[in-house]
């Protein structure tokens, strides 16, 4: 990998070589090793993991357990308004026979009166009263998502704590599917699967639906088999209470979900039996940004925060001694390399190709790259449909979107470079909308 | 000088040394007061609110203190309010004044005779306290929830149903209902208000019913109880076998029914049965007896009866019956009947059907002030005797307000009406000549049926119209 990187960065030499007779061949030669070295192994890890999961699912006898701990759902609400009721209703509808404590925390309740009214007006049906309880918290002063979660944690009584978003609704088997994993004392947290709820609102949401299916539902299922889950989504994660208390709750700054995942993972080196499973049968449905601009804004935040966490806040904790070798490699390759370095390589490659090669060649090369990506994507999608998806009939309708997906991903990858530069120069994580400036100002700087 | 008995109901409370203008006797307990052969004129109870309430009940049950003035030294409980004359009105002079007024009213009751029996005692208690009322007290421990402590205390020996007694006196027109305090439901069998309202199966009236939510599968439209859908942790439609994952997009809850565990009936609304906790009788809510809880005051007729004598064994009714005095409801019915007859047959018969005469004593209040209560009473008595001579067996009377009398005179024409008016005026002059300077002035209004009935008029409207002319 090192020589490839060095070569890629030695621009004058590279440009000279590309202008030569074997320019195209050289480019191909350099493109494909990159793809083979980085992306293909990762895809293989995922595919093998998915196959392993599928075989295990098919052969395991049905599970029956009397393990029914009380579950506290911390639902962070801000300006969702009446949508919060849908979230609360789907949580009450859970088939889980144990107790579920719903704690909707309305942040900035003084300004978000309509959300507060929706939470207060929510009434439990007669048949829910025995096992479901609603304890709303009104945080009058806005304090950000982290403060909502910590406030909810201090009021909750369940031994399993779920961090959920106010605009996310859930399938009725979610809690029982998630809680099952905690029966194993070595599980400190479980990641849940997210789907896009407003799939057919616009092209942007349809593309996100494909993205969530491939990169969350399928990828995490595969990674989970090797205990390599990269992130527990902030909109949907479950934690054992002791581990959260051990960690001192959620920490200020944006991307608190990746932060807490990395902090849990830094115990993996010392306690090798610990694992964070991903449950593909626990589904949350969330609303994605409906416009392309909205989507890009969201990614500007996410990808910027990524660099902040990997490179600034947790640079010290990404070490094999703390995380164990598999997770260390995974974080370096999928986190640092693919998500931080690769965008620049892609932008550079595209630029160099466009500058140095004649247009027909550029076009041919683009088509080649596109076809390769589309084939790999289609195979992944097929695998996802056949093995992982619990709603294959619904997901198969996304097939017409697939040809557009590689293009959208290229765009988003390029945009990641912008986001990372934004974080590098402007410390964009400090202007996050996830917490007010007066909170971020006082947070520890990294 | 009136004897004031000061009863300290708590050892911590010291009685005053003296009360100006009154002969003060202090008692360390209620027993000490009751053992005194010589009763006190005015009693003051001093102690905690509940103790004062209990003491007031015992005092009113004692024959000597049934009617007298009983004050409390501080605000008491509702029992005190119902039984006593309130908090101390002030210093000795104020108590002495109140005692004096009480004493002055006593000889006016029932022509100076001492009250005999329960009826007269209660009426006398009200007579002695103008504007006072018999107040109910809420007692959740009692089967009927509301009690009338004064009636219970005074009738303690006779074990009278206080509510029944009050209703009877109201029907006799001696008492009138005051403020409506509450409306309660009672068991028709035992009159208890300790009732339990339970939702039961409409088929077998069994108690063991459960709410049974149903689900509606969007895939095939199947609707069935939720129980049939539960397969392990998942909801699976028993009809089309598709898994229902998310409410709103896969399924919803179309109805919430009840199921009887006894007979298996499936129903939307449960019936409500009322079970009496005292006698175990089971009724429908509509079959319960509705009772209005009111305070009771002396009615105008009652006040008149107290003033003019209640007669032997409380036969005040017979005195009025001689006057053919009816209560308002009956009189209106009779008048309505006469109006109906007049409308139907009046035109054809050629003769008058009936006439209505209103008589108002214009200056009754002034009269009492000018000549004193005794003289004024005598004059009114004379007027009523005269009236008695004039009216025929077939005539009927009703008192409107205290100063108004209505006469329904069947088979009376306009000329007949004038005759009655003239004879009354003559009688009045005779009374006045014997009474001297004072003058009783009467105002009349008359209406002959059917000539003077207005369109769409009923008895109540006609009375209201004529009463307006009398003002």
pLDDT confidence tier of residue A368, bands split at 50, 70 and 90: confident
Contact A89 B247 (CB under 8 A): yes
Instruction: Identify whether A410 is part of a domain.
Output: yes
Instruction: Identify whether A301 is part of a domain.
Output: no
Q: Does B230 touch chain A (CB under 8 A)?
A: yes
Chain A residues with CB-CB distance to B243 below 8 A:
390
Instruction: Identify whether A315 is part of a domain.
Output: no
Provide CB contacts within 8 A for A147, sequence distance 6+.
A107, A139, A435, A439
Contact B164, B170 (CB under 8 A): no
Of B213, B245, B256, the CB nearest to A172: B245
Domain with residue A248: its CATH number is 3.90.550.10
How high is the ipTM of this complex?
A: 0.71
pLDDT for A34 equals: 65
Same domain, A122 and A216: yes
Contact A126 B256 (CB under 8 A): yes
Token digits for B82? 């119902």
| H, E, C per residue of chain B | CCEEEEEECCCCCCCCCCCCCCEEEEECCHHHHHHCCCCCCEEEEECCHHHHHHHHHHHHHCHHHCCCEEEECCCCCHHHHHHCCCECCCCHHHHHHHHHHHHHHHHHHHHHCCCCHHHHHHHHHHHHCCCCEECCEECCCCCCCEECHHHHHHCCCCCCCHHHHHHHHHHCCCEEEEEEEEEEEECCCCCCCCEEEEEECCCCCCCCEEEEEEEEECCCCCEEEHHHHEECCEEECCCCCCEECCECCCEECCCEEEEECCCCCEECCCEEEEEECCCCCEECHHHCEEEEEEEEEECHHHHHHHHHCCCHHHCHHHHHHHCCEECHHHHHHHHHHHHHHHHHHHHHHCCCCEEEEEEEECCHHHHHHHHHHHHHHHHHHHHHHHHHHHCCCCCEEEECCCCEEEEEEECCCHHHHHHHHHHHHHHHHHHHHHHCCCCCCEEEEEEEECCCCCCCCCHHHHHHHHHHHHC
Q: Which among B231, B233, B235 is the top mutation candidate for probing chain A, defined by the most A β-carbons within 10 Å of its own β-carbon?
A: B233
* Residue that is last in its domain, among A238, A270, A291: A291
pLDDT for B318 equals: 41
Average pLDDT, chain B: 84
Of B213, B232, B247, the CB nearest to A172: B247
* Whether residue B317 has pLDDT greater than 50: no
The pLDDT tens digits for B131-187 are: 899 999 999 988 889 999 999 888 877 667 788 888 888 877 889 888 899 999 999
The pLDDT tens digits for A166-206 are: 999 999 999 999 999 999 999 999 999 999 999 999 999 99
Alpha-carbon distance A238 to A240, whole Å?
A: 7
Same domain, A273 and A398: no
Domain count within chain A: 2
> Domain range spanning residue A115?
62-291
Same domain, A98 and A53: no
Mean pLDDT across the stretch B73-101? 88
Of B213, B230, B256, the CB nearest to A95: B230
Instruction: Identify whether A306 is part of a domain.
Output: no
The pLDDT tens digits for B176-225 are: 888 899 999 999 888 899 999 999 998 898 999 988 888 888 888 888 88
Instruction: Identify whether A221 is part of a domain.
Output: yes
Instruction: Identify whether A303 is part of a domain.
Output: no
Same domain, A179 and A271: yes
Which residues are bridge partners to A279 per DSSP?
A: A192
Total beta-carbon pairs less than 8 A apart between chain A and chain B: 42
pLDDT for A19 equals: 64
Instruction: Identify whether A174 is part of a domain.
Output: yes
Chain B neighbours among A 75-104 (CB < 8 Å)? 86, 89-90, 93, 95-96
What's the gap in Å between the CA of B288 and the closest CA on chain A?
30
Could you say which DSSP state residue A252 is in?
A: S
Q: Does B231 touch chain A (CB under 8 A)?
A: no
Same domain, A69 and A38: no
Same domain, A151 and A204: yes
Mean pLDDT across the stretch A325-346? 86
Closest to A305 (Cα-Cα) out of A266, A340, A337, A265: A340
Same domain, A68 and A217: yes
Q: How many CB atoms lie within 10 A of CB B386?
A: 17
Alpha-carbon distance A320 to A325, whole Å?
A: 5
Mean pLDDT across the stretch B255-279? 86
pLDDT for A125 equals: 85
Beta-sheet strand order (sheet of B234-236): B230-231, B234-236, B243-244
Same domain, A343 and A254: no
What's the gap in Å between the CA of A137 and the closest CA on chain B?
25
Alpha-carbon distance A44 to A376, whole Å?
A: 11
H helix runs in A159-255, sequence order = 174-182, 203-212, 219-225, 241-247
Same domain, A40 and A179: no
B81/B118: higher pLDDT: B81
Average pLDDT, chain A: 87
Mean pLDDT across the stretch A337-363? 83
What's the gap in Å between the CA of B276 and the closest CA on chain A?
27
Alpha-carbon distance B384 to B415, whole Å?
A: 23
Contact A108, A142 (CB under 8 A): yes
Contact B235 A90 (CB under 8 A): no
Cα B445 from chain centre: 32
Same domain, A109 and A226: yes
Alpha-carbon distance A112 to A138, whole Å?
A: 10
pLDDT confidence tier of residue A21, bands split at 50, 70 and 90: low
Which residues are bridge partners to B45 per DSSP?
A: B7, B72
Same domain, A9 and A102: no
Domains of chain B: 3-177 (no CATH), 202-269 (no CATH), 323-470 (3.30.70.270)
Same domain, A160 and A117: yes
**Sign of the dihedral defined by the CA atoms of residues A81, A84, A89, A90, in that order:** positive
Contact B247 A170 (CB under 8 A): no
Instruction: Identify whether A188 is part of a domain.
Output: yes
Contact A346, A414 (CB under 8 A): yes
């Amino acid at each position: 990998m090192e020589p490839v990187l060095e070569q890629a960065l030695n621009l004058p030499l590279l440009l000279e070589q590309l202008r030569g007779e074997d320019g195209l061949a050289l480019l191909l030669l350099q493109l494909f090793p990159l793809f083979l070295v980085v992306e293909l192994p990762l895809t293989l890890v995922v595919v093998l993991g998915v196959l392993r999961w599928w075989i295990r699912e098919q052969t395991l006898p049905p599970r029956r357990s009397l393990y029914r701990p009380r579950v506290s759902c911390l639902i962070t609400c801000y300006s969702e308004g009446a949508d919060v009721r849908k979230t609360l209703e789907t949580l009450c509808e859970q088939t889980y026979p144990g107790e579920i404590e719903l704690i909707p925390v309305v942040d900035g309740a003084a300004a978000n009166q309509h959300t507060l009214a929706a939470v207060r007006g929510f009434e439990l049906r007669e048949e829910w009263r025995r096992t479901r309880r609603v304890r709303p918290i009104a945080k009058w002063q806005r304090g950000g998502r982290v403060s909502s979660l910590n406030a909810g944690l201090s009021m909750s009584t369940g031994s399993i704590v779920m961090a959920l978003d106010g605009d996310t609704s859930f399938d009725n088997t979610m809690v029982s599917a998630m809680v099952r994993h905690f029966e194993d004392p070595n599980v400190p947290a479980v990641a849940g699967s997210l789907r896009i709820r407003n799939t057919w609102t616009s092209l942007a949401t349809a593309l996100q639906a494909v993205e969530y299916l491939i990169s969350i539902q399928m990828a995490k299922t595969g990674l989970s088999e090797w205990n390599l889950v990269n992130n527990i989504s902030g909109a949907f994660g479950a934690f054992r209470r002791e581990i959260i208390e051990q960690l001192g709750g959620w920490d200020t700054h944006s991307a608190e979900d990746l932060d807490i995942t990395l902090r849990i993972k830094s115990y993996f080196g010392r306690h090798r039996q610990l694992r964070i499973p991903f449950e593909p049968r626990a589904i949350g449905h969330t609303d994605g940004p409906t416009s392309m601009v909205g989507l890009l804004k969201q990614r500007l935040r996410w990808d910027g925060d990524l660099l902040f966490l990997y490179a600034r806040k947790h640079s010290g904790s990404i070490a094999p001694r703390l995380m164990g070798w598999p997770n260390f490699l995974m974080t370096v390759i999928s986190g640092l390399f693919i998500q931080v370095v690769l965008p620049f390589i892609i932008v550079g490659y595209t630029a160099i190709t466009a500058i140095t090669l004649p247009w027909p060649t550029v076009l041919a090369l683009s088509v080649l790259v596109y076809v390769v990506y589309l084939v790999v994507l289609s195979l992944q999608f097929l695998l996802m449909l056949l093995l992982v998806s619990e709603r294959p009939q619904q997901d198969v309708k996304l097939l017409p979107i697939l040809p557009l997906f590689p293009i959208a991903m290229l765009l988003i990858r390029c945009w990641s470079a912008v986001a990372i530069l934004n974080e590098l120069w402007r410390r964009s994580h400090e202007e996050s909308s996830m917490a007010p400036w007066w909170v971020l100002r006082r947070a520890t700087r990294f | 000088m009136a004897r004031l008995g000061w009863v300290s109901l708590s050892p911590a409370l010291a009685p005053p040394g003296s009360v100006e203008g009154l002969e003060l006797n202090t008692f360390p307990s209620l027993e000490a007061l009751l053992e005194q052969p010589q009763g006190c004129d005015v009693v003051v109870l001093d102690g905690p609110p509940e103790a004062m309430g209990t003491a007031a009940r015992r005092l009113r049950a004692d024959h000597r203190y049934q009617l007298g003035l009983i004050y409390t030294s501080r605000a008491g409980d509702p029992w005190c309010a119902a039984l006593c004359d309130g908090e101390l009105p002030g210093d000795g002079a104020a108590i002495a004044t109140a005692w004096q007024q009480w004493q002055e009213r006593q000889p006016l009751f029932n022509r100076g005779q001492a009250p005999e029996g329960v009826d007269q005692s209660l009426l006398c208690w009200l007579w002695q306290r103008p504007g006072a009322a018999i107040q109910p007290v809420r007692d959740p421990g009692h089967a009927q929830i509301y009690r009338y402590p004064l009636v219970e205390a005074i009738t303690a020996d006779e074990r009278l149903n206080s509510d029944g007694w009050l209703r009877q006196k109201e029907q006799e027109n001696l008492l009138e209902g005051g403020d409506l305090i509450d409306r309660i439901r009672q068991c028709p069998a035992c009159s208890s208000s300790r009732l339990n309202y339970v939702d039961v199966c409409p088929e077998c009236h069994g108690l063991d019913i459960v709410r049974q939510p149903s689900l509606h599968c969007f895939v095939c439209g199947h609707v069935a109880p939720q129980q049939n859908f539960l397969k392990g942790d998942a909801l699976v439609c028993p009809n089309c076998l598709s898994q229902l994952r998310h409410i709103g997009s896969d399924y919803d809850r179309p109805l919430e029914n009840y199921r009887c565990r006894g007979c298996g009936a499936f129903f939307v609304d449960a019936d409500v049965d009322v079970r009496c906790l005292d006698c175990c009788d089971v009724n429908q809510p509509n079959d319960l007896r509705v009772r209005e809880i009111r305070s009771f005051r002396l009615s105008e007729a009652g006040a008149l009866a107290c003033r003019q004598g209640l007669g032997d064994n409380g036969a005040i009714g017979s005195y009025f019956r001689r006057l053919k005095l009816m209560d308002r409801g009956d009189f209106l019915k009779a008048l309505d009947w006469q109006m109906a007859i007049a409308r139907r047959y009046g035109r054809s018969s050629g003769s008058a059907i009936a006439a209505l005469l209103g008589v108002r004593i214009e200056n009754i209040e002034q009269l009492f002030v000018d000549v004193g209560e005794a003289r004024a009473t005598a004059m009114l008595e004379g007027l009523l005797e005269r009236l008695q001579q004039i009216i025929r067996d077939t005539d009927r009377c009703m008192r409107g307000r205290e100063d108004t009398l209505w006469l329904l005179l069947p088979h009376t024409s306009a000329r007949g009406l004038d005759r009655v008016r003239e004879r009354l005026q003559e009688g009045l002059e005779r009374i006045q000549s014997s009474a001297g300077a004072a003058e009783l002035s009467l105002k009349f209004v008359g209406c002959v049926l059917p000539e003077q009935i207005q369109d769409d008029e009923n008895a109540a409207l006609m009375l209201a119209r004529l009463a307006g002319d009398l003002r």
